[in-house]
């Protein structure tokens, strides 16, 4: 009997691999971007999942002449998709990029796809969860009370409890077919995500782990429902402030 590879197994395998010595940076100061060499990342994928394959979709040309590239990675019957705008070293989209810039963006998109499987995911967790770097000015305190996450209504308690149990077991319990949603459902799922992480996370690392394990969903929200994605970011920012102040 052939045992099929599962998403959980791939994540468990690849997320444990130490990539810290392979991280490269481009840019200066707080404009620095971290990334992994695609050749090294592909070598790791082949060492663990030699059946893996990747495919690049047709590039998307936007009205402002910027370009988004996208790719798909298959491991057996499993697959994940990722997209990435062609950017300069300041993280700004390039208008009318040349062939070399598009080629570089495609390989970075491929490595970002690998992060959805677990390889080097912490790079994107650190950049996507809001934080203040040493190179950024720290804003002066404002006499304003931080809004705490909303209390969970009684009729949501059981649902959030069940979601939390699944998260603890390593599952991503939230629906992922974002393409079939409407804006209302996107908001409802984001509310549940914020309530669930609020109940689970005791440290910022707990938040990052939750964010990383749901990266695929978050990326889809960013593409299809950016307002819901921004709402999720605000929820995480508020929770992070409470944790760092010791108020949670």
Please report which confidence band the pLDDT of residue 173 belongs to, taking 50, 70 and 90 as the band edges: low
Cα(236)–Cα(241) distance, rounded to whole angstroms? Answer: 9
Whether 135 is covered by a domain: the verdict is no
Kindly report the pTM of this predicted structure.
0.51
- Residues 124 and 14 placed together within one structural domain of the fold: yes
- Establish if 175 belongs to a structural domain: yes
Its domain, for residue 159, covers 154-244
Maximal C-alpha separation, the chain: 65
Name the token pair of 22: 């392979």
> Collapsing DSSP states into helix, strand and coil, what is residue 86?
coil
Does 144 fall in a domain? no
118 and 167, same domain (yes or no): no
> What value does the mean pLDDT take over residues 147-171?
51
Q: Please state the domain count of the chain.
A: 2
Helices (H) and strands (E) in the chain, counts: 9, 6
Compute the mean pLDDT over every residue in the chain, rounded to the nearest whole number: 77
Residue 166 has pLDDT above 60, yes or no: no
Q: Tell me, what's the pLDDT at 145?
A: 43
Residues 172 and 231 in one domain: yes
State CA 189 to chain mean position distance.
16
Domain containing residue 81: CATH number = 3.30.390.80
């Amino acid at each position: 009997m052939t045992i099929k590879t599962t998403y959980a197994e791939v994540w468990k395998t690849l997320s444990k691999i130490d990539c810290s010595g392979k991280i490269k940076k481009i840019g200066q100061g707080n404009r620095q971007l971290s990334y992994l060499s695609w050749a090294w990342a592909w070598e790791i994928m082949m060492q663990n999942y030699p059946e893996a394959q990747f495919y690049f979709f047709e590039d998307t040309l936007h009205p402002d002449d910027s370009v988004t590239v996208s790719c798909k990675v298959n491991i057996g019957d499993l697959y994940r998709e990722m997209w990435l705008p062609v950017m300069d070293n300041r993280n700004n989209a390039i208008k009318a990029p040349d062939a070399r810039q598009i080629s570089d963006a495609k390989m970075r998109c491929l490595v970002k796809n690998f992060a959805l499987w677990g390889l080097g995911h912490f790079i994107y967790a650190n950049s996507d969860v809001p934080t203040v770097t040493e190179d950024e000015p720290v804003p002066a305190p404002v006499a304003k009370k931080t809004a705490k996450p909303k209390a969970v209504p009684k009729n949501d308690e059981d649902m959030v409890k069940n979601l939390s149990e699944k998260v603890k077991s390593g599952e991503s319990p939230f629906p992922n077919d974002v393409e079939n949603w409407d804006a209302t459902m996107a908001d409802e799922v984001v509310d549940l995500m914020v309530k669930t992480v609020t109940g689970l996370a005791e440290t910022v690392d707990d938040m990052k782990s939750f964010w990383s394990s749901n990266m695929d969903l978050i990326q889809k929200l960013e593409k299809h429902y950016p307002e819901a994605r921004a709402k999720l970011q605000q929820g995480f920012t508020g929770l992070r402030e409470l944790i760092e102040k010791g108020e949670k």
